[in-house]
Structure 1
Amino acid sequence: MTNVTVIGLGIMGLPMAVNLVNAGFTVTGYNRSRPKIDELVSKGGSGASSIADAVADADVIITMVPDSPDVEAVVSGEDGVFANATSGALWIDASTIRPDVSKRLAEDAAAAGIRPLDAPVSGGEQGAIDGVLSIMVGGEKSDFDAASDVLNAVGKTIVHVGPSGSGQTVKAANQLIVAANIEALAEAVVFLEAYGVDTEAGLKVLGGGLAGSKVLDQKGQKMLDRNFDPGFRLTLHHKDLGIVTSAAREANVSIPLGATVAQLVGNIVAQGDGGLDHSGLFTQVARSSGRE
């Protein structure tokens, strides 16, 4: 499987496509805006002017778009993936969407002769650039095995977690944990600053103990620097927490902390700060403490 198409060349999709080029795959990219396609071409890939053209000769098709309706728009209809991909092609949806939508689209893919995997990723922009994403994959085990070379080119921790929809369920849990960690880290930084502690030293020692986490490693300095250039926008985390709270309600699972953090993220998005990196949740904590 050498021909890979990547649909959605955003913050995550473009570096993933570049890593596939670097791994020796023939990569075709499609994006709604042309500059991203041109950037992929400059890195050794090729571009397509439509989804139909992009998938015509693809062995593997990766979609990386923002939300459930976006995935449906890309794969459905006469110009979509399912109507134009070669029978037997692998479709890897790396987007983060609702598990129920993922399962339904997997059924549609199978009916069209396409082999579906839901494979949302975690690790942020830097993880995509470095090719060390954590990838949670739902679908048939045989299809997961067939996709291993492609997945290994963009990720480091790659685990088959169950049938279709399971990858999206695990990703929802991931987003719950990340959001709660970001909120706790933000509160801790504001707390340290209020007492005049050397915050860089404080975070260093916290990172070496039980409080340490990848969230602290990747987001702590951003909070200290007040640098919230997006690696993963709050608007997208808001969408993901909506998925978590809805799925938890359907399963009769209580997530009081998750519901609280979901409201906090929703509040900051409503205030117009949805374009910030999700570490920008810090600004709400600082404002509510009268420290910004």
Structure 2
Amino acid sequence: MSTIAFIGLGIMGSPMAVHLQNAGHKVIGYNHTPDRTADLVAAGGTAADSAAEAIAAADVVAIMVPDSPDVTSVLTDEGGVFDTAAAGTLIIDFSSIRPDVTTTLAEQATDKGFRMIDAPVSGGEAGAKNAALSIMVGGTAEDFEAAKPILDAVGKTVVHVGPNGSGQTVKAANQLIVAANIQVLAEAIVFLEAYGVDTAAAVEVLGGGLAGSAVLNQKAQKMLDRSFDPGFRIDLHHKDLGIVTSAAREAGVVIPLGAVLAQLMASARANGDGGLDHSGLFRGVERLSGRTSE
């Protein structure tokens, strides 16, 4: 069992840290908002007063923060991982960030005697709570094997997809697919409602056919209920679509639907929906259709 410093105990990080503690690891958690450590402490883990305090006591550092600058800060700031951790420490970055940033940070980590993998996750809050996340891992085969017991404690589908940065590239593709599914599901439900169809019955039968998907299973009811408490915020999905559209341009790849999705996500934020679950794209379809149910 490992001693794990878990940095970032938000909607996803908190249940992940609890699963690791329950699996027998010793987890020391840190979050900018101290009350987010409550669930970990209740599970027998420890709350640190600073990231440096957590990192200094650990042989594994897990990171789950919102964006590239946040990961960079955790690693490179004074009192951060590069400044505080013991040589040989394994760094597992569960965050979803730019692949090029990940690659640069992994090179720096190696130069400083650390091991690092990028291990972004998919599955949202439900996947985190149920330890059923899909985890796409970039790094060396040796570091992947070293991290596997930790990854298995929080994920159901854990796959090594290539060298450092590959996990983030696969996650960007994941976010493109998820956004497209959410958008077309929202459009379908607004369409069904316009015709007075029993939408609950419609969603049930659609879910049993080729239109069925994890997105339909997890997000349709939120749309029907107009309940958009965040499991994964529009703000974060907006960031992720920025990553994939930028990376596609750099690779010379055309993603026309991805570009439209990025604009629709940006519109949702501009209309004040950034803090909502990404299923809140439904509200944008309603606005465009003149059917706002607010």
Paired residue for 2:242? Answer: 242
Tell me the CA shift for residue 57 of structure 1. Answer: 2.4
Secondary structure of 2:32's aligned partner: coil
Question: Is the Cα–Cα contact under 8 Å of residues 134 and 157 in structure 1 kept in the other structure?
Answer: yes
Identity of aligned residues (%): 66
Measured in 2, the distance between the counterparts of 1:110 and 1:48 equals 26
| Offset, 1:112 | 1.4
Per-residue deviation, residues 189-246 of structure 1 (Å, max 9, x unmatched):
0011011111011011111111110000000000000000000000000000000000
**Distance (Å, rounded) in 1 between the aligned partners of 2:287 and 2:51:** 44
The aligned residue for residue 5 of structure 1 is 5
SS at match of 2:161: strand
Task: List, as ranges, runs of 4+ consecutive aligned residues in structure 1 with deviation greater than 2 Å.
Answer: none
Q: Which residues in structure 2 correspond to 1:260-275 (within 5 Å)?
A: 260-275=260-275
Residue in 2 that maps onto 1:131: 131
Shift of 1:273: 1.1
Contact 2:16 2:131 in 1 (8 A): yes
Quick check: 165-174 or 47-56, which moved more?
47-56
Residues 17, 40 of structure 2: 8 Å contact kept: yes
CA distance in 1, matches of 2:112, 2:266: 38
CA distance in 1, matches of 2:205, 2:96: 33
CA contact (8 A) 1:83 1:112 kept: no
1:43 is displaced (CA, Å) by 1.9
Within 5 A, what are the aligned runs for 1:22-171? Answer: 22-171=22-171
Deviation of the 1:136 alpha carbon: 0.2
Deviation, 1:277, is: 0.3
C-alpha contact (below 8 Å) 1:268/1:284 kept by paired residues: yes
1:259 Cα deviation after fit: 0.4
- Contact 1:186-1:282 within 8 A present in 2 as well: yes
Q: d(CA) in 2 for partners of 1:222 and 1:38? A: 27
1:253 positional shift: 0.3
In structure 2, what residue type is equivalent to 1:122?
Answer: S
The TM-score normalised by the length of structure 1 is 0.99
Structure 2 residues not aligned, in runs of 5+: none
Alignment partner, residue 251 of structure 2: 251
The alpha carbon displacement at 1:41 in A equals: 1.1
Shift of 1:86: 1.2
**Structure 1 counterpart SS, 2:138:** strand
- Residue 160 of structure 2 aligns to a residue whose secondary structure is strand
Shift of 1:38: 3.1
Counterpart Cα distance in 2 of 1:251 and 1:274: 28
Q: Equivalent residue of 1:273, what SS?
A: coil
- What is the CA distance between 1:272 and its match in structure 2? 1.4
